[in-house]
Structure 1
Amino acid sequence: MKAHILISGASSGIGRAIAIEASRKGYKLSLCGRDKVKLAETLLHLSPDSQVYTDTFCLSETNKIHAFVSEASKVNGNVNILINCAGLNSARGLGNEVELADLDWMMKINCYAPIEFCKAVLPPMQAMKSGRIINVLSTVCLYSNPGIAAYTASKSALDAYMKVMRKEQRTHNIHFTSVYPGGVNTDFRAAERPQYLSAEAVAKPIIQTLKTNASAHLHELVIRPQAEENY
C-alpha cells in the first residue's frame, strides 16, 4: 500500500506540481491551500483514481493546521510524509525599511506554520519509528541577496529549526530533508522568467528522494536553473 503524503501549499506552483507527481506515483494525498478555486484546479490534474483529502484555510490559523492533520489521518491513515511547501514573499525592501508587522506575517506563514505541521504529524511518526519531513525552502538560505531580508530571515529561521530537529528525531528514525530551489518560474513571481526552473523540474526530484533507502538520510537537496549565477 502506498504511503500517505500531506502537502501544504498545494493550490499552485511547486506544491501543485508535487501533488500531481505524487498522484502519478499512486500515493495517498492530503492537500491544503488558501484558495478553493486554485485547489480545485489542482485536483483536475491528479490521476482519476487518486485517493485525496483536501481542505482550504489560512496557515496563520494554528488550530486549523492541527484539525486538518487530524481529519487527513482519519481519511488516509497516519501521515508518512509531510511536505511543507506553502510560502510567501509579501514585503520586499531594504532590511532597515521592512515593517516588523510584515516580517511577522512572513514568519507566521514561512516558519511557524511548517513547525506546527511538524508538531502535528510527529507523534504518530515517533510511534511508528518512521517518517519523512521535507521542507521546501529556498536558495536564499544559502546566500545573501539585497532587498529580500524579511523573506530570507523567515526561510532561514525554518532551515535552522529543522536542522536541530533532524538531530533530535534521529532516534525515532524520522528523516528531515531541506530542499533549496533556485529561481522558479511560477505565479510566485510578478514577471515571467522562462530561463528559470519549472515547478515540475523541482517536484520530480523531490518525489524521487522518497525512493532513498531508509538507511540513507538525505539532508539537503539544492536545485538551481542552469542560467542562475547568484550563488
Structure 2
Amino acid sequence: MQGKIALITGATAGFGEACALTFAAAGYHLIITGRRKERLQELQQQLEKTYHIHVKPLAFDVRDRAAVNEALGSLDDSWRRVDVLVNNAGLALDLSPVDEGNPDDWDTMLDTNVKGLLYMSKAVIPWMKARKQGQIVNIGSTAAKTVYAKGNVYCASKAAVDALTQGMRIDLLPYNIKVTAVHPGAAETEFSLVRFKGDESKAKDVYKGFTPLSAKDVADVVFYCCSLPPHVCINDLVLTPTAQANAYYIHR
C-alpha cells in the first residue's frame, strides 16, 4: 500500500467525517474510528468507491483504554505508517452551573476529550517516532481560550487539550513530529444536539442569527495545516465564523 495514511477519531459525524472526506479526496488512505460500527462501514464503502483508497474502520470508544490498545494493536505494519493523527473525538454535555452539573456528564467529557486523546496519542506516537516524521492535530475549541457561563467542565477539558498540545509539541521536537491544535468556534454539526441530549429546538437556537462554520470549513483548515512544507508547523490555530469573536461574543 503506497501513499500517506491518516488516522481520524470520531469519524462517524461532524468534523471527523468531514476530515475523512477531505483527506480521502487528497489520496490519503484512512483509518477511521468511532463507536457506530455500521456508520463506519458505510463511510468506508463510500470513500473506497469514490476515491479508490484503502480504508480501515475500527469501532471502539476512545474512553476505553483497553479497547484503544486492542484495536490499534491489531493493525499490521502496513497500517502503522500513520502520517497524520487527527484527535477529533470529543463532545459537550449540558449547560449547567458547576454545582448543578451531572458528574456522569463530567466523566464522559473528561474521559473522551482528554483521556481518549491521550490514549490514542500514546498508541500512535511510537510509530511516528520510529520513522521520525508525522503530525498530530488535536481538535480543541474556542472554549479552550475563553470560559463562558455554565461551560465549566467542557471549557476545562478543552483547556486541557490546549495544554497537552503544547506539551506534546515540546516532547516530540527531537523526533521531527509536528503537533497542531485547531480550535473551532461555533460550527453547525451534531455538537449542540449532543450537548442538549437530542433537543433539536435548543440545538438550532445556538446557530440562529448568524452563519456558523460548517464541518467542511474545519476539515479544510485541518488539511491545510497538514499540507505545509516539512519545515513549517502551525502550532495553534483558532477559527470562528466572521460573526464570532470568541466563545462568548457572537453578533446575531
Q: 1:214, CA displacement in angstroms? A: 1.3
Pairs within 5 Å for 1:144-163:
144-163=147-166
Q: Number of residues paired by the alignment?
A: 231
Give how far 1:76 is off.
2.4
| Preserved contact between residue 9 and residue 16 of structure 1 (Cα < 8 Å) | yes
Percent identical across equivalent pairs?
Answer: 30
> Which of 183, 187, 212 is the equivalent residue of 2:228?
212
- 1-structure distance, mates of 2:7, 2:76: 9
CA contact (8 A) 1:92 1:150 kept: no
Q: CA RMSD in A?
A: 1.7
Q: Helix, strand or coil for the counterpart of 1:147?
A: coil
Pick the aligned partner of 1:189 from 183, 189, 192. 192
1:4 pairs with 2:5: yes
Check if 1:119 corresponds to 2:135: no
Could you say if the C-alpha distance between residues 14 and 95 of structure 1 is closer, same or farther in structure 2, counting changes exceeding 3 Å?
A: same
Deviation at 1:136, TM superposition (A): 0.7
Q: Conserved in 2, the CA contact under 8 Å of 1:33 and 1:55? A: yes
Structure 1 residues 10-66: Cα deviation after superposition (integer angstroms, max 9, x where no partner): 000010000001110010100011112332343354234121000211222111112
SS at match of 1:146: coil
Contact kept? 2:85, 2:136, Cα under 8 Å: yes
Which amino acid counterpart does residue 208 of structure 1 have in structure 2? Y
Gaps of 5+ in 1: none
Residues 18/86 of structure 1: CA separation in 2 closer, same or farther (3 Å cut) = same
C-alpha displacement at 1:104, in angstroms? 2.2
User: 1 CA distance for matches of 2:217 and 2:93?
Assistant: 24
Q: Which residue of structure 2 lines up, in the alignment, with residue 24 of structure 1?
A: 25
Distance 2:74 2:134 in 1: 18
Q: Any conservation in 1 of the 2:225–2:233 contact (CA below 8 Å)?
A: no
Which residue number corresponds to residue 39 of structure 1? Answer: 40
Other structure's SS at 2:106 match: helix
1:86 aligns with 2:102: no
Supply the distance in 1 between the matched residues of 2:75 and 2:211 (Cα, whole angstroms).
37
Normalised to the residue count of structure 2, the TM-score between the two structures is: 0.86
Give the distance between the partners of 2:104 and 2:216, measured in 1 at CA.
Answer: 33
**Amino acid aligned to 1:37:** E
Instruction: Report what 1:57 is aligned to.
Output: 60
CA distance in 1, matches of 2:213, 2:141: 13
For residues 137-177 of structure 1, the C-alpha deviation after alignment (integer angstroms, 9 at most, x for no partner) is: 11101111111111111111122122112111101111110
Shift of 1:68: 2.2
CA drift at 1:7: 0.4
Tell me if 1:13 matches 2:14: yes
Structure 2 counterpart of 1:51, which letter?
H
Unaligned regions of 5+ residues in structure 2, if any? 194-202
- Look up the SS of the partner of 1:55 in the other structure: strand
| Matched-pair contact (CA < 8 Å) for 1:20–1:45 | no
Q: Which residue of 1 aligns with 2:113?
A: 110
CA distance in 2, matches of 1:142, 1:73: 39
Letter in 1 for 2:17: R
